[in-house]
Amino acid sequence: MPNSTAPDTEPQWSDTSAPVEARVEALLDDLDEQERTALVLADFSPLTRRGLPYPNYVDSGTGLRGVAGATAFPVGIALAATFAADLAGKYGAAVAREARRAGFTCVLGPTVDLARDPRGGRIPEALGEDAWLSGALGGAHVRGLQSEHVIAQVKHYLAYGTEERRTGHGAVWRRGDALDVTIPSGALDMYL
């Protein structure tokens, strides 16, 4: 059962003068297990019931997908080739400014999975095959997004090297045929 607050008392998680970490912790404490599970499954009603806005997402591998007039930014692997974290931060901030102008609060990106197979459909939008570089530039990109008050949904960050059967076929709740990625522990260690 979620913790309840007296009707005339502002919940701690909505106190904008409190540190963000404390607000997040208070909000999580207010959610019951079923509500936390709903959030993991992209059902944001536990938040909207508490007066928080529904996150408005836009995909952003190389700029805003499907937004008229949005900038077509260079692909992530080209950004990685610069080895410039400061540029990745500016890239993230520029994407965020366009997202905010278009009414979005959350950007699906950056893509930080490592390039392990040259046939991988996400390699161009990711940041290459070096774990350190991908982390450094991915982190700078996220900080750039956040500097403009846009949520970053880091994506495709582990063992997501193919497009074929990545989610299976048919209805989500019956997808038993999705690709099962098996990686030897030695190769997986580079992610940790």
Output the pTM of the full model: 0.74
Asked if residue 176 is part of any domain, the answer here is no
Asked if residue 102 is part of any domain, the answer here is yes
168 in the Ramachandran plot: left (φ > 0), alpha (ψ -120 to 50) or beta?
left
Whether the Cβ atoms of residue 120 and residue 166 lie closer than 8 Å to each other: no
Would you give per-residue pLDDT tens digits along the chain (192 residues)? 455 554 567 888 888 899 989 999 999 999 999 999 888 777 889 999 998 888 899 999 889 999 999 999 999 999 999 999 999 999 999 999 999 999 999 999 999 888 877 777 778 889 998 989 999 999 999 999 999 999 998 887 666 666 555 555 555 555 566 666 677 777 666 555
Same-domain check for residues 39 and 120: no
Q: How far is CA 71 from CA 63, 75, 112, 155, in A?
A: 6, 12, 21, 20
Same-domain check for residues 37 and 124: no
b/e map of 128-141 (b: 16 or more CB within 10 Å)? beeeebbebbbbbb
Write out the two tokens for 115. Answer: 């390039």
DSSP symbols for 86-149: HHHHHHHHHHHHHHHHTT-SEEEEEE------TT-TTGGGS--S-HHHHHHHHHHHHHHHHHTT
Q: Enumerate the β-bridge partners of residue 152.
A: 107
pLDDT at 184: 73
Residue 145, domain extent: 57-161+183-191
Same-domain check for residues 44 and 96: no
Write out the two tokens for 109. Answer: 């990106």
